Structure 1
Amino acid sequence: MTAEPAIDGLDPEQAQAVLAPHGPVCILAGAGTGKTRTITHRIARLVHTGAVKPQQVLAVTFTARAAGEMRTRLMGLGTKGVQARTFHSAALRQLRYFWPSHFGGQLPELISSKFRLVGRAAARCKLSTDTAMVRDLAGEVEWSRSCLIDPSDYPAAVARSGRETPVAPETVVKVLETYEKLKQSAEVIDFEDMIMSMAFMIESVPQIAHQVRETYRSFVIDEYQDVNPLQQRLLDAWLGARDTVCVVGDANQTIYTFTGARPDYLLGFANRFPDASVVRLHRDYRSTPQVVTLANRVLDGSSGGLAGARMSLVGQQPTGPEPTITTYDDEPAEAAAVAAKCASLISSGTPAAQIAVLFRINAQSEIYEAALSSAGVPYILRGGEKFFERAEVREAVVFLRAAARTSDSTGRLGRAVRGVLANSGWDPEAAPSGGSARERWESLSALAGLADDLQSADPDIDLAAFVVELEQRAASQHAPTVQGVTLASLHAAKGLEWDAVFLVGLNDGMVPLNRARTNEQVEEERRLLYVGVTRARRILNLSWSLARSPGGRASRKQSRFLDALASSRGPTAKVAPSARRQKIARCKGCGQRLDPREVAAGSCGACLKVGDRTFERLRAWRMTVARSEEIAPYMVFDDETLGAISLMKPTTLSRLLKVKGVGEVKLGKYGSDLLEEIEASKKNLQKTQ
């Protein structure tokens, strides 16, 4: 690959990074500025010009998904053999290779979670072993070890950082010491041991250092702002006295300092390597100018150590709708409105997988799961069941592996995969209407879509190579895209993007969290909101609620970060009027204030049910439907919606659509059956009168 093909289609800053000499390079890449495209083109150019062999390049990312994307893009650039791994997987691979010859025997068992051992350590220290306490203590164990803090230095380190600990720092020290003893007695290691052991072996054994450095002669470190001291120590060991490293990061997306991440490695790179090429990517190709403008304004009020590292993005996409800021009465009203908007987007052609609902903490997901289910909207909860552990996916991989051993594996990959899946009962043209059957169908569709993506990158890929790719992805949990609205925390959304994003629950005390007390902690919360905003390509809705529950005291305030956005001049955000200013609807029966979901019916849930035989008939119908679709009854319709229907007794589909909780998706699935049930109920009532 000559210089011109290497930079074909790149902007001037991207081209500058690609053409920089083989040596220290620092790419300061803002959100959506094409950093993955840039670094893969740089790697491909180094390989094709003979500066380095592909097997001598180690590209390190922070997620298995990012590593898989990098491998796919390099494949599309005609570059195979580059190692793209996370810090953990790279260290584990090397440690497994060197451990037997250096220490003798096999590598000790690697525990995937500290939870059990930390729980035992807490019990021995006479502390609570409930989930929250053990989780918080495990976080302290990880933070102290990732920051290379000796237990004896832990209290002083906590004082310096202003860190809030679950128990007194001196008590945490006892947990740290007990945890280490329990690991030794059980003869197991954790992820921090793995990285530390590999770094120590390179530092202390010349033969290992020589072999590692001969194997890897060029390094690329993505998301460098998230590197912690332990990971930096391993990188230093890999490099030795060399400087052939390219780092990529964005200090404005530093959101993991609570786990030990330090952006100063990124910001201080040029000081460490005075001859380094430093390139700033500021052209945002992901989001509309409206979203980009709002993202820049989120950071306008930044202060503290990272303020000087701020990069103002310039949107490159066509113009789009203005982001909105909406106030709701309460959380259920907010969730119901967001679910309705998701359903509307899907009905107008936006794929469900291109919509996300993002919140600050995982506990906020439950109300949105219920609201989306009630609206008939499929969703995927990040952090839920892992894709490659699903029964239908495991079964499909078995079928694909068997087919790869036969002559059936010849031909184009997409066609071959679809043929195998069809033989197992999957029909691409007959998607089930919902429930677990729909989830299984979506999983197999995702496998077929992955085959198409890989075939586009490498037209010669066959079924056997596809199976190998699936096995590698299963090992690293790099799942393909599954159709469904994504529910995720802001931290889990890092590195992802969607056409439409709903940032919800933006109350002060949640964003920023109450426990963010120091200026540095508050600024990290600001950067977290910035990460959420920059996930949106085109549609961005921000929202918050005045109360937690219907009828509750309207004592909440919007996030302080939204204050500046709502008051800024220019059409960057629309503030919807508070629902509290609207006329309060009351039940026709008992006069009490109505839940927003009951307004259409004009009566509260209790009054709807009293003496209404239609309601009981509809509940029986709902149970039959739920059993046939293998879903929970509330996913068909909840009681409030059935009660509203039974009170209004609509006779046409258009009138049925006016009932809150029905929506166009459920109208199409259940509308005709509902009208038949209502008519049958009327006739039955007439007979009994």
Structure 2
Amino acid sequence: MAAADDPTGPRAGADAHSRPLFDGSGFGDEDASAADAEALLVGLNNEQRTAVTTDGLPLAIHAGAGSGKTRVLTHRIAWRTLTGRDDPRRVLALTFTRKAASELRTRLRRLGMRDQVAAGTFHAVALAQLRTWWHETDQREPDLLDRKMGIIGPLIPRDKRSTAALDVVAEIEWAKARRIRPEAYAALAEEAGRTPPFPTPTVARIYADYEEAKDQRNLVDFDDLLGRCRHALATDKRFAAAQRWRFRHLYVDEFQDVNPLQFDLLAGWLDGRGDLCAVGDPDQAIYGWNGADADHLVRFATHFPGATVLELRQNYRSTPQVLRAATGVLLGRDPMVANRDRGPDPVLEGHADEHAEAKAIAGRARTVRGPNGRWRDQAVLVRTNAQTEPLVDAFRAAGIPIRTRAGSGLLDRSDVKVQLTQLGRTDQALSKLVGDLRATTTREPDNAPTGPIDGPEPKGDGGHDAGSGDTGRAAAFAELSRLADEYLALEPSGSGKAFVAWVKAQARSVADDPTDAVEVATFHAAKGLEWPTVHVAGLEQGFVPIAHAKGSDAQDEERRLLYVALTRAEDRLFCTWADQRTFGQRTANRRPSPWLADLQTAIAGLERPVGRSEGARRAREMADRTRRATLPDHPVVTALREFRSAAAKAANVPPYVVFSDATLGDLIDRWPTEAEGLLAVHGIGPTKADRHGVGILAVLAAHDRPEAADPPANDSPSMARTASKTPTTSTGDSPLHDRLRAWRTERARVADVPPYRVFNNTTLDALAEARPTDVDGLLAVPGIGHRKVEDFGAELLALLADG
């Protein structure tokens, strides 16, 4: 896994310096110079430089995916501090996750700002301020409820709890985010098109009973923190003045995710002042279902008259191919400007069922990694958690380490629980306890408590769980120490007990895991992350878009969610779906996502020339091939299109799922005459060859080959993989060739597959010519990857040694 670090401009920009750009000694430092401020702007493009230096306030920055959002935000804070515009002790940066706050603080420290700037989530900042208020007004401090289910569960009929409880919790959280009281819930939920598990009056009653139960027990939940802090600001002028004096310069990250309750609290902190910088991307607004309202960003100038609104349109993360394909799912949206060299086209691929899909993804992950790659450079993304099970099983079966977003949280560790329990029993100032906490970070594991506190330790993923062993323990306690530093920045006099409550108000899963493993995550969980290779699985109707997304707003949000998933890829993007999927005991036929057509159209229209001499030459060759392959007046093209339409109708899928126009053109170019030759055609793999091969070959056999269709050139390195699979009849007649063919025939018979599914003739010829003597040599042969080495390597090496 990799956090999206917003690389921009020259990679060796100001953010990458090994030493701070300035000493950050504080507001008004007489040694701060114009040269220091100018150094902060090195490596920024014109858009970013304007966003960092503009004096226009309030300010909204629309920062597209991979545009350098966090870099611009941190450089703006540092630049305004260095130039005397902001006092760093009066800056508050608001984020939506503790991890984002930690990253922001880390980047500011790299810029020399040390620990002066306070950064935290809305909930964490609200809790810190409320603790001050409760103490100053001699109020009894309520306990923080970190699980609503303990109260809501008993309010739901027993026979419905397992299926409806979480949905009721989600409805209550949506209502509170929208500042909707129980008595108003029924009417407003129906108006919004909500689909709760019970009639809206029933949910409203459960909601009211939940609120009453909390009051009786002196409990508050996370959402209450925001509302109560806003109430304190509105009713206690002295408290409000103190908080507004302390935090005068406000910055908000991911502003498209702000909900009305958070926006109301933000207004309370501002109190009409315009010192606000909001950064976000309307195209990544994916939390409307949970109460977020991107209107706060889209109509920023309406909410804040006189505001300045800027855009960052340069993308530095993804290749042009990934970026244009992803933008294809956002109807009518112009793509961002890609600043990377071209890469491989995204691949769309269907499979028989979810198990075949998962097995294929695992095999591809192994191939992409190669002998020297890293597993953590890849991720598999799905729409729902329920889709992860076959993927986890397939990766385990293949011996590939994986990690999922669930079960690896800091607060799930028994040793961390012991430490938090000890801290939670004392009112002593945390600042006096930090030394012991840091000592625990470096203590030998054998000296740490190992017994569970409130139940067994969650089990890992079959030996591949994240953060296991000594390394995981050290990382977890280092994370806990960093949490303490961040809390003290917000509440210097806070106690150990207060710190524990604050930690619970943060994310429940905060450990940063360095394990080398493929990440399996949902689209939502992947937001803010990036990987060189991304496999997007389960692109089927019912998942993408999700079945319960009704209405244009929900559908638009589902499109944005898919866009978020696709733009996590830096270099390679693979998109898959299954024709069948099992739900419990029922197997259902599936249809590809209707949005695959938009994705396919975007891929087919990719602009390949990139302006570099060699790259442009190769791109022109590929474009020329495409033009030559487009023969709309030739009878064979018409026949192939008729075959495609009939196959699509029979399978109840769009025609492009059978094969695209680009594949049709390659069929004409290559004119295969046997099943093995089909595998050399771009867009046809073993599955499609099995399904449609006989029909395709019959169409080709019934027509004359067009004279204009020249065979594709094989001299371009960029076409090496395709060229290596060009169908040929092996010319080898040596005894080794005969033994290899006989071995392949026997292997195919045992596996009950066609011989070309073992190895094609090109691979056999390459084996006979290269005669590798070890595994590395086998892997160098075109058509042989790690899976085939595992299956056949020992036999092949023995056979070649005898040759």
- Fold shared per TM-score above 0.5: yes
Name 2:79's counterpart in structure 1: 45
- Is residue 184 of structure 1 aligned with residue 219 of structure 2? no
Q: What is the deviation of 1:273?
A: 2.6
TM-aligned CA distance change 1:577 to 1:513, over 3 Å: farther
Mapped pair 1:478 → 2:513: no
Aligned to 1:59, the other structure's residue is in SS state strand
> Residue type of the partner of 1:583?
D
Q: Is 1:570 the equivalent of 2:641?
A: no
The answer to whether the Cα contact below 8 Å between 1:547 and 1:555 also exists between their aligned partners in 2 is yes
1:20-35 superposed matches below 5 A: 20-21=54-55, 23-35=57-69
1:93 aligned residue? 128
2:475 is equivalent to residue 447 of structure 1 = yes
Amino acid of the residue matched to residue 155 of structure 2?
Answer: A
Do the aligned partners of 2:232 and 2:239 also contact (CA within 8 Å) in 1? yes
Q: Which residue does the alignment assign to 1:381?
A: 404
Query: 2:287 aligns to what?
Result: 256
Q: In the alignment, residue 563 of structure 2 is paired with which amino acid?
A: Y
Q: Does the 8 Å CA contact 2:466/2:472 hold for their aligned counterparts?
A: no
SS of aligned partner of 2:278: strand
Paired position in structure 2 for 1:499? 532
Instruction: Provide the rounded CA distance (Å) in 2 between the counterparts of 1:435 and 1:562.
Output: 36
- Say if 1:56 and 1:218, in contact at 8 Å, map to a contact too: yes
TM-score by length of 1: 0.73
* Mapped partners of 1:201, 1:337: distance in 2: 56
Kept after mapping to 2: 8 A contact 1:450/1:480? no
In the TM superposition, residue 193 of structure 1 has moved relative to its aligned partner by 1.1
Deviations 1:162-190 (A, max 9, x none): 22121111111111111111112222111
Counterpart secondary structure, 2:396: helix
Q: Against the structure 1 CA distance between its residues 599 and 23, is the aligned structure 2 distance closer, same or farther, given a 3 Å change threshold? A: farther
Task: Pick one of 539, 545, 549 that aligns with 1:516.
Answer: 549
Q: How many percent identity over aligned positions?
A: 35
The structure number with the bigger radius of gyration is 2
Q: Is the 8 A contact 1:503 1:542 kept in 2?
A: yes
- The question of whether the paired residues in 2 share the 8 Å contact of 1:358 and 1:504 is answered with yes
Match of 1:315? 338
Find 1:163's aligned residue among 175, 184, 194: 194
Instruction: Identify the residue that residue 269 of structure 1 maps to in structure 2.
Output: 300
Structure-to-structure mapping, 1:354-433, within 5 angstroms: 354-387=377-410, 389-390=412-413
User: Does the alignment pair 1:583 with 2:722?
Assistant: no
User: For residues 416 and 368 of structure 2, what CA distance do their matches in structure 1 show?
Assistant: 29
Aligned length in residues:
563
1:396 Cα deviation from its structure 2 partner: 12
1:247 maps to which of 278, 288, 301: 278
In structure 1, list runs of 5 or more residues that go unmatched: 302-309, 410-415, 425-433, 455-467, 586-597, 605-651, 676-689
Residue 319 of structure 2 contacts residue 571 of structure 2 at CA under 8 Å; is this kept in 1? Answer: yes
* Amino acid corresponding to residue 55 of structure 1 in structure 2: R
The letter for the 2-side match of 1:493 is A
Cα displacement string for residues 276-304 of structure 1 (whole angstroms, at most 9, x for unaligned residues): 22110010111111111112211135xxx
- Aligned partner of residue 72 in structure 1, secondary structure: helix
Match of 1:78 among 109, 112, 118: 112
| 1:525 and 2:525 correspond | no
Give the letter aligned to residue 559 of structure 2: R
- Cα deviation, residue 423, structure 1: 11
Asked if 1 retains the 8 angstrom alpha-carbon contact of 2:190 and 2:200, the reply is: no
CA distance in 1 between partners of 2:269 and 2:465 (Å): 48
**Closer, same or farther in 2 for the Cα pair 1:519/1:207, shift >3 Å?**
same
Deviations 1:27-47 (A, max 9, x none): 001011001000100000121
Structure 2 counterpart of 1:98, which letter?
A: W
* CA positional deviation for 1:155: 2.1
Matches within 5 A, 1:521-670: 521-548=554-581, 555-568=589-602, 569-571=604-606, 576-577=683-684, 581-583=688-690, 602=751, 664=786
Partner Cα separation in structure 2 for residue 405 and residue 445 of structure 1: 18
Compute the displacement of 1:350 (Å): 3.2
- What is the identity, as a one-letter code, of the residue corresponding to 1:479? A
Separation in 1 of the partners of 2:89 and 2:572? 41
Provide the rounded CA distance (Å) in 2 between the counterparts of 1:114 and 1:670.
54
CA contact (8 A) 2:441 2:478 kept: no
Are residues 350 and 65 of structure 1, via their aligned partners in 2, closer, same or farther at CA, if it must alter by over 3 Å? farther
Q: Which residue of 1 aligns with 2:148?
A: 114
Cα separation, partners in 2 of 1:103 and 1:437, compared to 1, 3 Å: closer
**1:582 to partner: Cα distance:** 4.0
- CA offset digits 1:382-402 (Å, max 9, x no partner): 02231464468889999xx9x
| TM score, norm. by length of structure 2 | 0.64
Change (3 A) 1:423 1:333: same
Contact 2:402 2:464 in 1 (8 A): no
Match for residue 305 of structure 1? none
In structure 2, what is the Cα distance between the partners aligned to 1:259 and 1:180?
19
| Aligned residues of 1:375 and 1:666 also touching (Cα < 8 A) | no
SS at match of 1:16: helix
Q: Contact conserved, 1:329 with 1:579, CA < 8 A, in 2?
A: no
Q: Which of 342, 345, 351 is matched with 2:374 structurally?
A: 351
Q: Report SS of the residue matched to 1:349.
A: coil
Q: Partners in 2 of 1:256 and 1:368 — Cα distance?
A: 26
Q: Distance in 1 between matches of 2:775 and 2:281?
A: 52
Any idea what the Cα deviations from partners look like across 1:447-497, whole Å, max 9, x if unmatched? 39989xx9xxxxxxxxxxxxx9x9999975532242211111111111111
Q: Describe the shift of the 1:50–1:603 C-alpha distance in structure 2 as closer, same or farther (beyond 3 A).
A: same
- Provide closer, same or farther for how the CA distance between residues 541 and 450 of structure 1 changes in structure 2, counting only shifts above 3 A: farther
Structure 1 residue 553: Cα displacement = 7.9
Report the alpha carbon displacement of residue 560 of structure 1 after superposing the two structures with TM: 0.9
- Structure 1 residues 367 and 443 mapped into 2: Cα distance closer, same or farther (>3 Å)? farther
Distance change in 2, residues 1:116/1:554 (3 Å): closer
Q: CA deviation at 1:556?
A: 2.1
Contact 1:288 1:538 survives alignment (8 Å):
yes
Contact 2:442 2:474 in 1 (8 A): no
Partners of 1:365 and 1:293 in 2: how far apart? 27
Deviation, structure 1 residue 96? 1.3
Find the aligned partners of 1:173 and 1:282 in 2 and give their Cα distance: 44
Aligned letter for 2:309? Answer: V
For 2:97 and 2:749, locate their aligned partners in 1 and report how far apart those are by CA, in whole Å: 46
2:751 partner SS: coil
Structure 2 portions without partners, runs of 5+: 1-31, 423-430, 449-461, 483-495, 608-655, 661-682, 693-746, 754-773, 798-803
Q: How far has the Cα of 1:119 moved from its partner?
A: 0.9
Residue 561 of structure 2: SS of its match in structure 1?
helix
Closer, same or farther: CA 436–312 of 1 in aligned 2, 3 Å: closer
String of CA shifts for 1:392-419, please: whole Å, max 9, x gaps: 8889999xx9xx979x99xxxxxx9999
Query: Structure 2: which amino acid aligns with 1:100?
Result: H
Could you list the per-position Cα deviations for residues 627-663 of structure 1 after superposition, in whole angstroms to 9, with x for gaps in the alignment? xxxxxxxxxxxxxxxxxxxxxxxxx989x99xxxx98
Q: Deviations over 1:3-25 (max 9, x none)?
A: 42231111111111110117311
Shift of 1:160: 2.2
Q: Could you tell me whether the CA contact under 8 Å between 1:329 and 1:578 is conserved in 2?
A: no
Kindly state the Cα deviation for residue 62 of structure 1 after the two structures are TM-superposed. Answer: 0.7
Structure 1 residues 449 and 117: alpha-carbon distance in aligned structure 2, compared to 1, 3 A threshold: closer
For the Cα contact (< 8 Å) 2:408–2:465, is it kept in 1? no
Q: Does 1:489 align with 2:522?
A: yes
* Secondary structure, counterpart of 2:80 in structure 1: helix
* Secondary structure in 1 matching 2:468: helix
**1:161–1:394 Cα change, 3 Å:** closer
Aligned partners of 2:687 and 2:474: how far apart in 1? 43
Alpha carbon RMSD of aligned pairs, Å? 4.1
